[in-house]
């Protein structure tokens, strides 16, 4: 179940982010707005812009998976120098490709392991706490903020775009 809660959910949300960005590009094209205006937009002066929201969402996904599976050294490194939509979409694609390398067995001991980061100054979370209280909330926050930046600027995105396709059964 840990794989479903982590990798599958992160992949879905990154796919939804890509679709939301595509809607932003279509909006910019139809309104003759430079896409750079949207990419550099932010909700508040002290908040990160759209580019940084996408970067952090990708970093949270890849590093979350890497830490939960004890494969931190395998996580791809990014320079955080994207300035175009194409570059952001490539970063999402690279993150998706990395997430696709994981299997359920990679997370066999994830729930109970101790996970720390340098900025936590010696403190740690269990893998379950890390996933449920750090990784997923951060991914949702940054993707929601990216969505809100585009919506605030007039892009026709809605709840269905954010949630994506539902795996309905009949």
The pLDDT value given to residue 118: 86
Q: Is 150 a domain residue?
A: yes
Q: Is 170 a domain residue?
A: no
The pLDDT value given to residue 1: 80
Q: Is 44 a domain residue?
A: yes
Query: C-alpha angle 116/117/123, rounded to 5°?
Result: 50
The pLDDT value given to residue 2: 85
Report yes or no: 51 and 39 within 8 Å, Cβ to Cβ. Answer: yes
Q: Is 168 a domain residue?
A: no
pTM, two decimals, is 0.96
| 84-113 residue pLDDT tens | 999 999 999 999 999 999 999 999 999 999
| Mean of all residue pLDDT scores within the chain | 97
Domain residues for the domain of 7 are 2-163
Number of domains comprising the chain? 1
Q: Is 169 a domain residue?
A: no
CATH of the domain at 133: 1.20.120.450
Torsional class of 49: left (φ above 0), alpha (ψ -120 to 50), beta (otherwise): beta
Rounded CA-CA distance 23/32 in Å is: 14
């Amino acid at each position: 179940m840990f794989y479903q809660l982590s990798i599958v959910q992160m992949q879905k949300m990154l796919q939804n982010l890509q679709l939301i960005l595509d809607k932003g590009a279509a909006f910019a094209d139809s309104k003759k707005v430079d896409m750079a205006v949207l990419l550099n937009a932010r909700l508040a002066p002290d908040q990160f812009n759209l580019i940084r929201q996408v970067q952090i969402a990708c970093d949270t996904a890849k590093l979350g998976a890497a830490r939960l599976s004890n494969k931190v050294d395998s996580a791809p490194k990014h320079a955080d120098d994207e300035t175009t939509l194409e570059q952001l979409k490539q970063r999402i694609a690279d993150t998706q490709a990395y997430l696709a390398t994981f299997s359920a067995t990679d997370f066999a001991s994830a729930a109970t392991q101790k996970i720390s980061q340098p900025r936590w100054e010696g403190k740690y979370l269990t893998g379950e706490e890390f996933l449920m209280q750090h990784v997923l909330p951060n991914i949702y926050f940054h993707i929601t903020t990216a969505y809100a930046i585009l919506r605030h600027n007039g892009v026709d995105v809605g709840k269905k775009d954010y949630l994506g396709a539902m795996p309905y059964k009949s």
